[in-house]
Amino acid sequence: MTRLNGKTAVITGGATGIGLAAAKRFIEEGAFVYLFGRRQDALEAAVADLGPNARAVQGSVTEQADLGRLYAAVQDERGTLDIVFANAGAGSPVPLGQITAGHIDEIFETNVKGAIFTVQKALPLMGAGGSIILTGSSAGTTGAPAFSVYSASKAAVRNLARTWAEDLKGTGIRVNVLSPGPTATELAKAALGPEGMQLFAAMSPLQRMADPAEIGAAAAFLASPDSSFMTASELAVDGGIAQI
């Protein structure tokens, strides 16, 4: 498939997990991809795996100077930008009664403020036909025990897309949310262990966790002209977990 032929994409949190799976799919469909993430070793490994149509820029979405370097690199090499996948995120369980200001700051700094500036700083490089994809979560719809701050941050991301669709009227740029359910990334496997993986799998009507490639395929759909009449929408790729 060549739905993304000639397109330039940025993926934050792109070195591992869903971001890396999306990068693979984007490149398979013809895109040139910039990976942005905090870990240089993971970025280098990802680029080695992805091949000549991938570049890496090290940095954090919580640092505006780092985002500035990312988009300067895109402008210098490619000139324009077609796709932004604001995928970088953070989350950890803290139950009500134990929530701290530091926990709130960490989650919202990455998931909300990071998404805002990832997109805002990209806009000067984007034009008609551009696609912005924000990573939401099934937790933003359903809530999850001990994940109230994370869930609230993802609900905020959902509303960003609704508001930005209005702000982007007349530009030809679309913005949508991709909301995965439990996904079998390497991080999830390490954090949950076999028993935790089984527990999360049982929550879905499909009785399994998503493969990151399945989320990457959905991201490619939102990035492509196949979703050309979609904006302000949420695409739930959650095995039905937030739908019933």
128 burial via Cβ count (<10 Å: 0-12, 13-18, 19+): exposed
Just list the catalytic residues.
Answer: 150, 154
Alpha-carbon distance of 98 to 102, in angstroms, equals 11
pLDDT tens-digit map of 57-66? 999 999 999 9
- Is the separation of the CB atoms in 118 and 9 below 8 Å? no
The Cα angle at residue 81 between residues 135 and 77, in degrees rounded to 5: 125
**Chain-wide mean pLDDT for the chain?**
96
Q: Which residues pair with 194 in a beta bridge?
A: none
Please give the domain boundaries of the chain with CATH numbers for all domains: 8-181+212-236 (3.40.50.720)
Alpha-carbon distance of 225 to 207, in angstroms, equals 32
DSSP single-letter state for residue 167: H
The whole-number average pLDDT for the span 100-119 is 98
pLDDT tens-digit map of 195-227? 888 988 898 999 999 999 999 999 999 999 999
pLDDT tens-digit map of 136-192? 999 999 978 899 999 999 999 999 999 999 999 999 999 999 999 999 988 788 877
pLDDT reading at 18 higher than 90: yes
CA dihedral 215, 222, 82, 116 (to 10 degrees): -80
Residue 72: what pLDDT? 98
Residue 193: what pLDDT? 86
